[in-house]
Structure formats: structure tokens, C-alpha cells
Structure 1
């Protein structure tokens, strides 16, 4: 390639790249409202954004992977924690962990109830933005490194076929990790690893003991029924502890009744009932 050809190639490449850049820019602007739910930006959402900045939340937390990386990414926090949990947590984070043991340093911000509601509305708007998978490996709220909370290692297709198929326990375990929100966002299956929800290790034995005692307040008569009730109506019996409930209402989401089909619920119960 001589100098003239090289010059023409450079000019042509620049023109093509410029056209592609302008086209992608215009296409992005065309989709912004749909991707970001721009029509859902209410006065409360805007106020929540102001609360986020006023309290310097980004000095520790990240949104869309951008921030200080000192504390968890909160891009999808409202998909992992319900409003009741987030409200109670922001009112007094110290109730949710032992600072001397867990070494978490979330300060009590003394935010008003109105501003807490606005901040949750802002975070909920953020959680519904179509971020197209970015960041590719977001920081989890809890437990990515806790035993029993990380995704299982990949298994060869032959082994996977032998252990799953129509096996309701295997299908239930898959749901445990993939439901919305994923059960692993709040529960571990490792003994003693309590997160936003209690560890599910030994669930069957603890459930049987609960049903046999006088403290149970629900309507179940056997362990499978109790597990099913806990998924569908988590406040039927509230597990004691400020981390798990407030004012008699469990922090566990109440959406599984409509988000899981009867077949999926049966599979999930089958898996949970295998946690002896």
C-alpha cells in the first residue's frame, strides 16, 4: 500500500467509524427512556437521588459498578431486599449485625422516614433500569464468599443429566438459586451462616421441633406444610430477631405466591425438605 492508498484508507476508516459512532449515539438516545424507565422518574425518585447524594452513599456503595467499592453494589438491592427490610435497616443498621464480629461500619444516618421512603423509591427505579448485564460481575449484597451461598461449580453435561432431569430436588435447588429474588440473596445453607435470613442448614429438624413446641403461630401441621407456608405467607410465623422482622411482619418477600407456579413451589419445597 503506497502513501496515497494509506491516506485514502485512513480517511475512509475515519468516515466509517464516525458514521457508526453517530448512528450508535442516535440509537442510544432513541432508547434512553425505555432502557432507563424515564417515565417512572417521579418527584419521590428525584428526592431519593438527592438523599443518596446528600448522605454521600456513593462514598462506600456503588451503582452500576461505579462508586467506592467499600460496600456492596446496590444496583439491584430492591430486587434482593424488600421495602420493610430496607426501611428498618436504614433506621438503625446496628440491629442487623454485631459490629465487633462482622466488622461492618454502616453508620446510622438519622434519615427521616420520608427521605428513607424516597431513597428506596430511587433505588427501586435504579433496579429497574435495563443495564444490559453491567456490571458483568456485580458485588452481591451478602454471601458471595459464604459457604452455601455461591453458585455451584459447573458440572459436566452427563453428570448434570444424571442428577437433574425430572428430579424435583435438583429442580428445586435450581429455583433456590435462580428465583426472583434468589433465595441465596438472604439465606445460606451452611450451618451458622445467618445473613438477612437465618441459615437453612438443618431446616427439617428445626422445623419439626418448632411444630412440636408451643411457640409456633402458623397453621401448618407437618414440616412440608410449614416450609410451604414460610414461602407463601412468611409472616404466618415470624422467626424471632430484629434482622428478620419488624412489627410482627417478616422481611421475607411476599411475591413468591404469584411468581412461582404450583409445580415450581412443589420443587422448591422438595429441595428445602432435603436440608436435614
Structure 2
């Protein structure tokens, strides 16, 4: 091309690129209200955002990939933890994590009940924004160690050495679990539900021995269920391990696992929505999978 043709090509290319950029910008703004659930921005959500900023939560936590990356990403926190858990946690974080066991201790923000409710409303709005699948994995915060290692799961995840807790140190199946194939195998279907139900069970429960997350580890659940039923402290209606696991899914407060991390005021932090959101067949599949952990 000669100089005149080169100049025309450069000007035309710039014009086309500018026009394309303008069209994409207008289209993005057109979709923002739907993508961000703008209709769900209530006064409570706005107040919660103000509390979030006033306490500089982003100095430690991350939402939408923005923040300090010092503490867990909270973009989907309300989908991983229920309102009772989040409320109890913000009232007194020290009962969940301590500096002797965990490297990082969240300070008590000293929020009143209204401020806590507002923050949860804000985080719930955040969790429902279409963010193209961010973050890519559930948060993992625990003082337990992955078997065969000296580092906690949280520490290994920071170093890129840990994946999900249930895989253990080598990526093998958890103790007590057996290899399954897809199809109509209820254990395989239950395993899929364990990872895909909303809220996902894997976000709160590990299947590795000794690794307690927001919920207790499910390693050895079948054996532990029999022990609980035989205990005089058990006041539920289950008479078999299978019935106990089923009861724990649909009525989590029927038996409260010991420890302040798991309940408050005789109410379990585990969501009560599974009995309504899952079919009886799906619950049976989930029970079959959990019963494989002897």
C-alpha cells in the first residue's frame, strides 16, 4: 500500500474499532440492571454497603475479585453459609476461629443487630450478581490439616497446593468412599448432589478425617450416626443410621453437633431448605452417598 492507502486504512480501522467499542459499551450498560439485580437493591442493601465500607471490610476480604486477598472471598458467602451462621459469626468471630489454631483472626466489628442484618442483605445481593462464575471454588477456612501434611488447608490453598478438602493430600477418594460410575447408581448421584445442591454441601462439610469447616467433617458419618443414636443425649426420631442422616438433612436442629461453630440458641446453622428444595428421591441418593463413609 502507498502512503495514502495506509492512511485511509488506519483511519477506517480506528473508526471501526471505536464504533465497535461504543456499541459494546452501550450494550453492557443496557444489561447492567439485569446482571446486577438492580431491582433488588433495597434500603437495607444500601445500608449494608455503607457498613461494609465504614468497617473497611475490603481491606481483608474480597468481593468480585477486588480486595486484599488476606481473608476469604465473600462474593458467594450467603450461598455457602446461612443467615444464623453469619449472624452468630459477626457477633463474636472468636468463637469460630482463634489465633492459636488459625493464622488469621477476624476482629470483632462490634455491630448491632440491625447492622448485621444490613450487611447480610448486602452480601446476599452481591452473591446474586451475574459475575460469570467468580469465585471458581468455595472458600476454605479451617485449622485442620490435610492428612499427610503439616499445613492447614487454608495455608495450602494459599500456596496453590490444595484443591477441595475432600480430595485429601493426594486427590484420592476419602477414606470409606468407594469408586462410583455415573448412571443410576444412587451413591454416584448422591455424590453429584453433594457438590451441586444449593447451598452446596461441600462448601461447609469436608469428607477428610479431622477437617472441620463451617460444619463438622463427614468422615466416618455412618459409624458416628450409630453412636449418636445409642447415646442418651439423642432426642431425635431416628432409629437407624440411615434415618439419622436423613433427619440431619431435612431437620438439622433435631440433633445439634457439639461446638459453638455449628449452632446457637438450640438452632443448627445448617440450612433448612434441603427438605423443600430436594425431592425425596434426591435426599435418598444423598443419604446413600453419605452412608458410604463408614
In the superposition, the TM-score normalised over structure 1's length comes to 0.92
Aligned to 2:269: 251
Structure 1 CA distance for aligned equivalents of residues 180 and 286 of structure 2: 19
Counting only pairs closer than 5 Å after superposition, residues 182-197 of structure 1 correspond to structure 2 as 182-197=200-215
- Mark the runs of 5 or more structure 1 residues left unpaired by the alignment: 155-160
Aligned to 1:17: 17
Q: Verify: 1:85 aligned to 2:85, yes or no.
A: yes
Equivalent pair of 1:191/1:201 in contact (CA under 8 Å): yes
Counting only pairs closer than 5 Å after superposition, residues 1-276 of structure 1 correspond to structure 2 as 1-135=1-135, 137=136, 140-142=139-141, 145=162, 147-148=165-166, 163-276=181-294
Structure 2 CA distance for aligned equivalents of residues 209 and 153 of structure 1: 29
Equivalent pair of 1:76/1:126 in contact (CA under 8 Å): yes
Aligned positions, number: 268
- Mark the runs of 5 or more structure 2 residues left unpaired by the alignment: 142-152, 173-178
Gap change, CA 1:88 and 1:38, over 3 Å in 2: same
1:104 positional shift: 2.2
Structure 2 CA distance for aligned equivalents of residues 180 and 67 of structure 1: 26
Structure 2 CA distance for aligned equivalents of residues 138 and 6 of structure 1: 49
Structure 2 CA distance for aligned equivalents of residues 172 and 209 of structure 1: 23
Equivalent pair of 2:180/2:187 in contact (CA under 8 Å): no
Q: Does the residue aligned with 2:48 lie in a helix, a strand or coil?
A: helix
Aligned to 1:157: none
In the superposition, the TM-score normalised over structure 2's length comes to 0.86
Structure 2 CA distance for aligned equivalents of residues 17 and 153 of structure 1: 47
1:39 positional shift: 1.2
Gap change, CA 1:11 and 1:138, over 3 Å in 2: farther
Structure 2 CA distance for aligned equivalents of residues 244 and 133 of structure 1: 28
Aligned to 2:149: none
Q: Over residues 90-135 of structure 1, what are the superposed CA-to-partner deviations in whole Å (9 max), with x where a residue is unaligned?
A: 0000100232012222001111111010000000011111112245
